[in-house]
Amino acid sequence: MRKETTVQTLTQTGRIPDSEGRPGSTKLLRPLRNRGYDVSCPGHEACTATIPVDEPISEYRMGREMGLSLAKDNGRVKFVATGGDTLGSHGIQAGMPAIATERQSDTTHLGETQFRHIIKTPFSPRMFPGDSAVIRAENKKMFAEDVKNRCQKIYTDMHTLYAGDVAVITKKMPRTIQATLDCYAGSCRNCRRHGSVCKGGTRKNCGATQRHASA
């Protein structure tokens, strides 16, 4: 039964939401099925108990249904936090087009996004050192991990430093990003002032540790 384990863990009523996020009316069927009963959903629309296991569940449709439901009650959604996928927020925007809905991600998802982009990006053959494609791929992965960790630490440190003030963080972020790019290029002149990870200077900078990428 699709997502039955998750539903059993997260819902107290033991009921299954449908594939578009609406509350369903079918109780969990596993106990009856385990006893040999031939059970099925009574027929409510998009029930996750009966749809094929390989049928994709649309996060866009789920978001749109939620947006339409909130719009009927004069609800408004300004910010949407998602699990790294923009489709849900796009769906909510489609369901309530009268206002702009902005997607937000936490630091973990932002860092993971950077990691995936680097892994998928084709770099020049001489970007990463190594005598074989396997070694170069490992060095590329190390670089992606480093960028991911920096991304997470930068956001965490800035949220702490500026007490979560998004306006201030947004204003300061361009210089921090530029300092980070300069750091990767071998110049730590702005790290101490605008950086978050590298301490700059001659002995505490990150230059000596950035050996997995060529200059």
88, two tokens: 């849900």
Is 144's pLDDT higher than 90?
yes
State the average pLDDT over residues 158-163: 89
State the average pLDDT over residues 107-133.
85
Q: Over 60: is that where the pLDDT of 75 sits?
A: yes
- Helix and strand numbers, DSSP H then E, in the chain: 8, 4
In the chain, % of residues over pLDDT 70: 60
Size of the chain in residues: 215
Using the CB atoms, write b or e for 164-202: b if 16+ within 10 Å: eeeeebeebeeebeebbebbbeeebebbeebbbbbebee
What is the pLDDT at residue 55?
Answer: 62
pLDDT band at 49 (very low <50, low <70, confident <90, very high): low
Which helix H or strand E contains 16, and what residues bound it? strand 15-17
Q: What is the mean pLDDT of residues 193-214?
A: 61
28 by Cβ neighbours in 10 Å (0-12 / 13-18 / 19+) ranks as middle
Query: Mean pLDDT throughout 87-106?
Result: 75
Task: With beta carbons less than 8 A apart as the criterion, state whether 197 and 154 touch.
Answer: yes
Confidence of residue 4 (pLDDT cuts 50, 70, 90): very low
Identify the pLDDT of residue 134.
Answer: 92
In this predicted structure, the answer to whether residue 159 has a pLDDT above a threshold of 80 is yes
Domain ranges of the chain: 1-57, 58-105, 106-209
